[in-house]
Amino acid sequence: MDPDRNAGAGAGTQANVIIERLRAICMSLPDANERVSHGEPAWFAGKGRMFASLDNHHHGAPHLSVWLPAPLGAQEALIETDPARFFRPPYVGPSGWIGMVLDTNPDWKQVGELVRDAYLHVAGKRLRERALATRPPAG
C-alpha cells in the first residue's frame, strides 16, 4: 500500500511509523492481504475475513488504534486488565472485537500476539495450520 494512503486526520510522521510497524506484523502472516475498508487500511486472512482494521483517528477518535476480532470473553478480560490501552470499538465491539491504542507506546510483542490471535480466530483451516507452523510475528 502506498504510504500516502495512510488515511485519517492523525496521519503524520509518528502515525506513519506506527502504521508501518502494524502493517509489517499483519503482512507477515500467511496469505495476509491489505485492502482499504471504510477509508482505512485493513488486513484479511487470504480471501477470507478481516483480522485487523486500522483506526487512524476515524470520526474524531482520540487515538490511533487497531481493531481486532477476538474470541468470546477476550474483550472484557483485556479491557479490565488495561482500560487505558484496550477499548470496545464502535460498530464491531458488540461482536467481541477489541480496540488497542497504538499511539501511546504499546508493547509491540503484545500487538504481534494479539494480531496473530485475531488472524487465527478468523482464518480457515489451511491458513490456520500454516500460521501455527510459523513463528509469531515480531512486534
Q: What is the CATH number of the domain that holds 114?
A: 3.90.1150.30
Q: pTM for this structure?
A: 0.87
Domain with 44, as residue range(s), is 3-132
* Lowest mean pLDDT segment, chosen from 4-8, 22-26, 89-93: 4-8
What average pLDDT is seen over the chain? 89
Distance CA 11, CA 15 (A): 5
Among the listed ranges 36-40, 42-46, 131-135, which one has the minimum average pLDDT value? 131-135
Q: How many domains does the chain have?
A: 1
Is the pLDDT at 40 greater than 50? The verdict is yes
Is 54 a member of any domain? yes
For residue 78, being part of any structural domain is answered with: yes
What pLDDT is stored for residue 139 in this prediction?
67
In a domain, 69, yes or no: yes
Asked whether residue 106 is domain-assigned, the answer is yes
Q: Which of 12-21, 29-38, 40-49, 56-65 has the lowest mean pLDDT?
A: 56-65
